[in-house]
Structure 1
């Protein structure tokens, strides 16, 4: 792969002629459940730049939905993948002892903001990790119920989509969903009023609740940041009733907020932490980590995965952790995130009739618009200008660039986003 010049560089109409061929083939053969944000047909990437099949270059501020944490094709990640692929592509860690599986587990456990010794289970994706964590908390506590939040997104497999409550369309047509899942409002005093005085009074005894699943910052729900002290109160509620606290850091983790795990900003220690997306810079890898005593309770065969923790994704995961540490990407996420939030708040002052809120931590930033239709138009216009952003929540756009994003790329993104908002 050759090094690409600075984006954006739009050379054809969008979509271009080669992209239209791909779109036509896609329309004929793929599942219609795939939602697709706009007609981007990526061919290659480097850093924060994506090039499509027609040679158009885009500044990537969605990072494959917050997945390409170290940027596209980071040389150290590519080298780790290449080296591992020459030795062993796959052998199931569910039945045999892959050296790299325990190395990846050890590296993750060393980062976990969890009290005491930690054990790790590796999966293929965030949804799989959520499913595993859901099985774990029920198994360990013997309690059947769990609580999640309105606005939450935990995945689309059956258990994960039952926990999910960001959009009704994710549930439509799939009922009945998994029993024993309740929901509460996210990120306000109403949370505790609802749980203690409604759920615990009218629907379920607290001693039957196994766990509360929470995103420290909601992703799909709108990049919502809870107020100071909210997660601490949630931890206290869990402790009061013997309920496990599960932090879903699939989108907020791997350095996106300027700390490796978003929950570290609060000082709260969960019992279980879930990760995926940016954990392997684009390769399929997920994980859930827990206090060792929890993962020691279930017996052999209680949970497994043919491909989870396969050698090549683990190699990418180890390289990702090394790059984040060695290249100062946590500090970069904080610094560039502050630059972006400051610039976006200036845009809010300029376009007060269109932008109603700017919020976020590090490189996990949400921009709220007056209407959903306006957010959709800005997303599409940004694409046409060569900036890739993505909607979330009811009427928001998220900015989640790779952690390697530069100050100049942030400046250019703000310029393009301003043009998109202006129309």
Structure 2
């Protein structure tokens, strides 16, 4: 006998630690493409894609076939102790997208990729300090949490975090430091205050940043910021780590979001979409930087062969979708910008990572966000929030344009009803 939605939710509350937030009572049964179904058979447009994981959508036949074929060979073998060809094949494909000779370290998740990048930066440079940005999200394990600050609850009760870390403002137009020339103001702030008052640049191993802050509210920086930041970092031999866990693998209409900003990071953190729905992460960096000595870093499941089989398909298929992602994203943004509501403060994003921020009396309108998300869910659209009051639209990259606009119009109507 099938359980009801509310029976599943009640048992979830009884048996699972409730350390995460659900936006509405959706219990998935199955999905296909950009459509999902709940356990009572109702159909929904997926504007979440498992927080950007399902780039090729639900039930992709090529991924299913590749994983099934690999399952017949072997499920797992320790890449840290032995070799298998698939790990090299995927690494060769992944590094082919980079603008320099690169190497790969496989992980299981985004937070683990960030942890590995921290160790790589410190190990390579021999320096300890790493600087990040306020309002970022890099994960919730203690190392990555030291740079996560999109909500205070994420850090509450978990101190002390990593020493020799520091967070500075992100180039966000809502930031008081960005009232004039945001880029120049922040670059001067780093060089004239951080490097002269807080830490000498000779002690700084790296800066870590999201090219677009996802969980923080889909915040897109000025187009010249990372280019000028990287020029400053090169002056002092400091590495630039880009956390592309959410923005990478085609999400913004390019394989990596850093390509939009005329910058080449030294280390890139990946996860989410790279495994096509199977847990996989990776750190990709310049060959000369990826030099931790044997025994200094490893894991059991990183580079799991089933996840790599799925990843091989993802890395073959996503480049074919980039133009579609860009054009569909632009039409979604155009549709949302036409919303007639005093509460729609801003629409921003790139490709199919889009945020529509709601504000009331010039303050975050969280109640409005909850209402729009819940009512859109009732009408068959699954979106979630980001930042304090931003609707996050992040469908599978394969979503049909008409379906994407159908879902967008429902969200638009719900904003207008506020």
Q: What TM-score do you get using the length of structure 1 for normalisation?
A: 0.92
Residue equivalent to 1:339: 331
2:357 matches 1:368: yes
Residue of structure 2 aligned with 1:56, choices 42, 54, 59: 42
CA deviation after TM superposition for structure 1 residue 422, in Å: 2.9
Residue equivalent to 2:272: 277
In 1: Cα distance, 2:27 partner to 2:98 partner: 36
2:211 matches 1:216: yes
CA deviation after TM superposition for structure 1 residue 198, in Å: 2.5
2:199 matches 1:204: yes
Residue equivalent to 1:256: 251
Residue equivalent to 2:296: 302
CA deviation after TM superposition for structure 1 residue 419, in Å: 2.5
In 2: Cα distance, 1:71 partner to 1:150 partner: 32
Task: Show CA shifts across 1:253-284 (max 9, x none).
Answer: 11011100011112211100111111111110
Residue equivalent to 2:26: 40
In 2: Cα distance, 1:203 partner to 1:240 partner: 18
Question: What is the total number of aligned residue pairs between the two structures?
Answer: 400
In 2: Cα distance, 1:93 partner to 1:220 partner: 32
In 2: Cα distance, 1:414 partner to 1:164 partner: 30
Does the residue aligned with 2:207 lie in a helix, a strand or coil?
A: strand
Residue equivalent to 1:93: 79
Show structure 2 runs of 5+ residues with no match.
172-181, 360-364
Task: Show CA shifts across 1:209-233 (max 9, x none).
Answer: 0000011111111111111211101
Residue equivalent to 2:117: 133
2:281 matches 1:289: no
Residue equivalent to 2:309: 315
In 2: Cα distance, 1:221 partner to 1:376 partner: 16
Residue equivalent to 1:12: none
Q: What TM-score do you get using the length of structure 2 for normalisation?
A: 0.94
2:394 matches 1:382: no
Does the residue aligned with 2:355 lie in a helix, a strand or coil?
A: strand
Task: Show CA shifts across 1:2-32 (max 9, x none).
Answer: xxxxxxxxxxxxxx96111110111111012
Residue of structure 1 aligned with 2:393, choices 365, 388, 399: 399
In 1: Cα distance, 2:116 partner to 2:393 partner: 29
Show structure 1 runs of 5+ residues with no match.
1-15
CA RMSD of aligned residues (A): 1.3
Alignment check: 8 A CA contact 1:45 1:73 kept = yes
In 1: Cα distance, 2:276 partner to 2:219 partner: 24
Task: Show CA shifts across 1:370-400 (max 9, x none).
Answer: 1122112111111111111111012111111
In 1: Cα distance, 2:322 partner to 2:191 partner: 37
Residue equivalent to 1:107: 93
Residue of structure 2 aligned with 1:234, choices 217, 229, 235: 229
Does the residue aligned with 1:186 lie in a helix, a strand or coil?
A: coil
Which deviates more, 125-134 or 392-401?
392-401
